[in-house]
Structure 1
């Protein structure tokens, strides 16, 4: 009995229960569908990284005697066609809990059923699939801390081995070449693929996890795991990370587990409230006065606000497809509370450029900073970007790396607050706003929805 394994956000062979389920049936066609609904809106970072990850997956399959079949078009049609061509009776997937993915899978499932082919879901991209962690009365957790306790108590299965001795099937014709998108000048992405993910994780376990709790907010130091893009594309599964963390009892290991729990919490919230991918979780915040994006928004996008730490972070995003998490909060606060622009504009910009652009984590992270999400930071907590820079980038190394105008300490002694004369000398802009003034304005606007 032949099966199709449809890769999506699980671009690996190891620790892939859904793939093992497909292999238990007999011969397997490994399939990836370039879905225009996902490929079209993706920015250059995500396209290029996905293409590199697919090439790495194809290389792993070829080393085992297979190769990845890549087809382009509507999955409802293309998955059914592929199943028919190899005589498959089942198509295996890891469940997708995103708003689009869940709807797409229901449509594919119906089309397959008409062809007498079953869609079989096994596991998901999460240690505990969304919808599984619930209160005793069956209702969902609304805030993170009780969710995280219940999530840990629920537990998760251990990692599984990669399949071996698989009779891989191929599509003789009709497949597409693996894409090679062109990157904008200056954009450099991290290495993609399952091997790269495991190598990076191993290095973090050896050198970074013990001090993670103390150093993770320092963008000037290589103190984070940089695993977010590998998790986004399923090049490694969170249960693999959790299994490796289990015997570790440092505060850093516990803190890292908590970060994984946040990722699963946001996925659970989005699964329960798919509307919050675009709309406010706390709808009263939609009534607050906001400004339309203008030239100041454009300055934020390209890192020319005149606030060095904001500009460093936005330039890091454009140059690497990634941004340090502390900096994500700082620039989000700046957009919503200094520029008074709605969070959705920033969330879209992030998803366009981030390699790790995950809808649930990104958009609910933005809502957290904007004060309108779960466990939201109080709206009156308005980050002072200069103070944040001094606190978390004390020597100015992060700013000097990403804002080359400010790189020379002899010409720019204070990277976080250069004088007007120094800015003019090196061609760095004056601040586009007065933070104190805009903080008061933000709080006045907030008052309008509290009455």
Structure 2
């Protein structure tokens, strides 16, 4: 009697693509057919948000790429995945190895449930060029400062992109839930082909000027690959391989862009080594830092969230976040510094707000980026780093175009005067709010508090 066809389950998570996908290769090698699955976890997907709509668009694209064989199930993966494996008689469920605290706990629970039924959870590959936990110093200690990490990361190197299987025998005929309807009626570019197209356009167009223009929010010259990387529509190995081919001798632009990928890998490594740093200060010596609270602080935080602080570059960024689910990275640092060092609010308040709205919200990069700005995370001595929202605005948005784009109350102000409406007689004639705090006074207060906490 011939062996019955075997089914291997490929459980997609942060790897919504078919190219450069080691877990896909492993699932093809393990089974006669491959059942592609995505589990909508209600604890992670908050319907009606820009991030949810972005994920749904990516899943719709992946479904097309799998010839409409992608099975969608909704519920707790600890229950759904073992039930689905039993339903199709699969002995193995293949995944890309997870690295976040929640993902690791979830996968451990799924693995235990599968093992209880005589099945396996097989983890292959990682969402990163170099898996978190691998890059350590000569004494075997993980890095807490970016520059030495980035050097060691480059010296370690990474494998070439994984080959795509020549043939993928998709398993079909399994019941699938319908994808929820997105809230937005606008067409969202998402999925592997859109990511590859976006990357190709940046590689051949804006990459050469990246080192010069990357801090300019008024210019749309960044890669916009943060969301495709978050959902795994493109793997960083693919990007790094293309960079090497594009600029064999290297250049300042390619070095700078590669550094941005290294920051993503660094923060993932920090979270791997210190899971509690997802929502707690990485640097314990600053746990006693004094923060403000109470009704007045709550009102100021709400003004910050709505983009009504009276500081144009801050308000432009916060309004872009609410409208697009995106914010330019330089402006993310400015707005984060303002909340933590002008309003004296603990960084998780802002990190949660960003994660609630960003389509590229990644807990490792987002939360450790917030700690970097707050001065309680990575880096050697950032306590004195207080961004001046006025000078930051005039330096990186010198013509005021970014501010006028997102703050219509200031569109009557020409050039850089849009950053200082208080300096013009007509600056407030369209009901732009007055400044909620005095930056110079709050900066002095911040430095005083940091010194007290360090002592």
- Where do 1:398-417 residues align within 5 Å? 398-409=402-413, 414-417=417-420
Q: CA shift at 1:138, angstroms?
A: 2.1
Matches within 5 A, 1:129-278: 129-170=131-172, 172-173=174-175, 175-183=176-184, 190-247=188-245, 248=247, 249-278=250-279
Q: Output aligned runs, 1:55-134, within 5 Å.
A: 55-62=60-67, 66-134=68-136
Q: 1:189 and 1:288 mapped to 2: Cα distance?
A: 45
Three-state SS of the structure 2 residue aligned to 1:367 is helix
Cα deviation, residue 373, structure 1? 0.7
Does the residue aligned with 1:92 lie in a helix, a strand or coil?
strand
Q: Secondary structure at the match of 1:5?
A: strand
2:38 corresponding residue in structure 1:
32
Superimposed CA distance per residue, residues 185-211 of structure 1 (whole angstroms, 9 cap, x where no aligned partner): 9xx685111111001100101111111
SS at match of 1:37: coil
1:384 partnered with 2:388: yes
Using a 3 Å threshold, how does the CA distance of structure 1 residues 342 and 114 change in structure 2: closer, same or farther? same
Residues 325-383 of structure 1 deviation map (CA, whole Å, 9 limit, x = unaligned): 11011001100010000000000000000000000000000000111111166222211
- CA contact 1:306–1:431 (8 Å) conserved in 2: yes
The aligned counterpart of 2:3 is none
Question: Which residue of the other structure, out of 389, 396, 406, is the alignment partner of 2:400?
Answer: 396
**Structure 2 counterpart of 1:359:** 363
Structure 1 residue 43: deviation in Å? Answer: 7.0
Residues of 2 paired with 1:31 and 1:328: CA distance?
Answer: 34
Q: 1:377 to 1:218 in 2, by over 3 A?
A: farther
Distance 1:348 1:377 in 2: 25
Q: Report Cα offsets for 1:159-187 as digits up to 9, x if no partner.
A: 123334322113533x311122314x9xx
Partner secondary structure for residue 135 of structure 1? coil
Extract structure 1 runs of 4+ deviating beyond 4 A.
none
Asked if 2 retains the 8 angstrom alpha-carbon contact of 1:45 and 1:189, the reply is: no
3-state secondary structure, aligned to 2:301:
helix
C-alpha deviation, 1:136, in angstroms? 2.7
- Check whether the contact 1:308–1:399 (CA below 8 A) recurs between aligned residues: yes
The Cα of 1:413 is off from its aligned counterpart by 7.3
Quickly say closer, same or farther: Cα 1:52–1:102, change in 2 above 3 A: same
Unaligned runs of 5+ in 2: 1-5
Distance (Å, rounded) in 2 between the aligned partners of 1:381 and 1:154: 31
Task: Name the residue aligned to 2:21.
Answer: 16
The separation in 1 between residues aligned to 2:204 and 2:356, in whole angstroms, is 33
Q: What is the CA–CA distance in structure 2 between the aligned matches of 1:203 and 1:148, rounded to whole Å?
A: 26
Q: TM-score, normalised by structure 2?
A: 0.94
Aligned CA-pair RMSD: 1.7
Deviations 1:205-246 (A, max 9, x none): 111111111111111111210100000000000000000111
TM-superposed deviation, 1:120: 0.6
Deviations 1:24-81 (CA, angstroms, capped at 9, x unpaired): 12201000001122124x770111100110001001111xxx5110001111111011
Structure 2 vs 1, CA of residues 43 and 284 (structure 1 numbering), >3 Å: closer, same or farther? farther
Give 1:324's aligned residue.
Answer: 328
**CA distance in 2: counterparts of 1:53 and 1:314, whole angstroms:** 25
Q: Distance in 2 between matches of 1:395 and 1:377?
A: 32
Distance 2:145 2:385 in 1: 19
Query: What is the rounded CA distance, in whole Å, between the counterparts of 1:143 and 1:43 in structure 2?
Result: 37
CA change 1:376–1:392 in 2 (3 A) is: farther
The equivalences for 1:424-435 within 5 A come to 424-435=428-439
Greater CA drift, 397-406 or 231-240? 397-406
Q: Is the 8 A contact 1:368 1:377 kept in 2?
A: no
Output the TM-score relative to the length of structure 1. Answer: 0.95
C-alpha distance in 2 between matches for 1:284 and 1:443: 15
User: Does 2:341 correspond to 1:340?
Assistant: no
Deviation at 1:391, TM superposition (A): 0.4
Contact between 2:16 and 2:232, CA under 8 Å: does it hold in 1? yes
Q: Residue 421 of structure 2 corresponds to which residue in structure 1? A: 418
Count of aligned pairs: 442
Q: Is the 8 A contact 1:109 1:119 kept in 2?
A: yes
